[in-house]
Amino acid sequence: MTALKNDRYIRAALQQPVDCTPVWMMRQAGRYLPEYRELRAQAGNFMALATNPELACEVTLQPLRRFDLDAAILFSDILTIPDAMGLGLHFVAGEGPAFHKPVRTEDDVRKLFVPQPEDKLKYVTDAVSTIRKALDGSVPLIGFSGSPWTLATYMVEGGPTKNFSIIKAMMYQQPHLLHQMLDVLADSVIQYLNAQIEAGAQAVMVFDTWGGVLTPRDYREFSLNYMQKIVAGIHRTYEEQRIPVTLFTKNGGDWLADMAATGCDALGVDWTTDLADARQRVAGKVALQGNMDPSVLYATPERIKAEVATILKSYGAGSGHIFNLGHGIHQTVEPDHAKAFVDAVHELSRPYHLVG
pLDDT digit string, tens, across residues 207-242? 999 999 999 999 999 999 999 999 999 999 999 999
Q: Are 175 and 100 in contact (CB under 8 A)?
A: no
Q: Are 100 and 27 in contact (CB under 8 A)?
A: no
Counting residues of the chain whose pLDDT is more than 90, the rounded percentage is 94
Average pLDDT of the chain, as a whole number: 96
pLDDT at 282 over 90: yes
pLDDT at 1 over 60: no
Residue 9 resides in a domain: no
**What distance in Å separates the CA atoms of residue 198 and residue 200, rounded to the nearest whole number?**
5
Query: Catalytic site residue 274?
Result: no
**Domain tally for the chain?**
1
- Identify the CA nearest to 277 among candidates 246, 312, 252, 314: 314
Residue 80 resides in a domain: yes
- Confidence category of residue 356, pLDDT binned at 50, 70, 90: very low
- Confidence category of residue 95, pLDDT binned at 50, 70, 90: confident
pLDDT at 93 over 90: no
Q: Are 252 and 274 in contact (CB under 8 A)?
A: no
The DSSP bridge partners found for residue 97 are 91
Residue 331 resides in a domain: no
Residue 214 resides in a domain: yes
Q: Are 275 and 324 in contact (CB under 8 A)?
A: no
Mean of the pLDDT values across residues 321-329? 97
Q: Are 160 and 96 in contact (CB under 8 A)?
A: yes
Q: Are 78 and 146 in contact (CB under 8 A)?
A: yes
Residue 328 resides in a domain: no
The DSSP bridge partners found for residue 246 are 205, 266
In the chain, what are the helix, strand and coil shares in percent, each to the nearest 5? 50, 15, 35
> Quick count: other Cβ atoms within 10 Å of Cβ 113?
12
Q: Is 352 annotated as a binding residue?
A: no
Of 31, 66, 236, 303, the catalytic one is 31
Of 27, 66, 220, 303, the catalytic one is 27
Q: Is 154 annotated as a binding residue?
A: yes
Query: Catalytic site residue 154?
Result: yes
Q: Is 77 annotated as a binding residue?
A: yes
- What does the longest C-alpha to C-alpha distance in the chain come to? 63
pLDDT at 102 over 80: yes
Cis omega (within 30 of 0) for bond into 291: yes
Q: Is 236 annotated as a binding residue?
A: no
pLDDT at 22 over 70: yes
Of 154, 219, 226, 315, the catalytic one is 154
Query: Catalytic site residue 77?
Result: yes
CATH number at residue 78: 3.20.20.210
State whether residue 70 is helix, strand or coil.
coil
**What distance in Å separates the CA atoms of residue 73 and residue 78, rounded to the nearest whole number?**
13
**What distance in Å separates the CA atoms of residue 192 and residue 151, rounded to the nearest whole number?**
13
Q: Is 7 annotated as a binding residue?
A: no
Residue 346 resides in a domain: no
Query: Catalytic site residue 66?
Result: no
> Quick count: other Cβ atoms within 10 Å of Cβ 6?
16
The DSSP bridge partners found for residue 96 are 92
Query: Catalytic site residue 31?
Result: yes
Structural domain boundaries, residue 271: 26-291
- What is the pLDDT at residue 96? 82
One-letter identity of residue 297: L
- Identify the CA nearest to 268 among candidates 205, 178, 176, 353: 205
Residue 319 resides in a domain: no
Of 7, 8, 32, 77, the catalytic one is 77
Q: Is 29 annotated as a binding residue?
A: yes
Residue 316 resides in a domain: no
Give Cβ neighbours of residue 165 (< 8 Å, ≥ 6 apart).
Answer: none
Q: Is 31 annotated as a binding residue?
A: yes
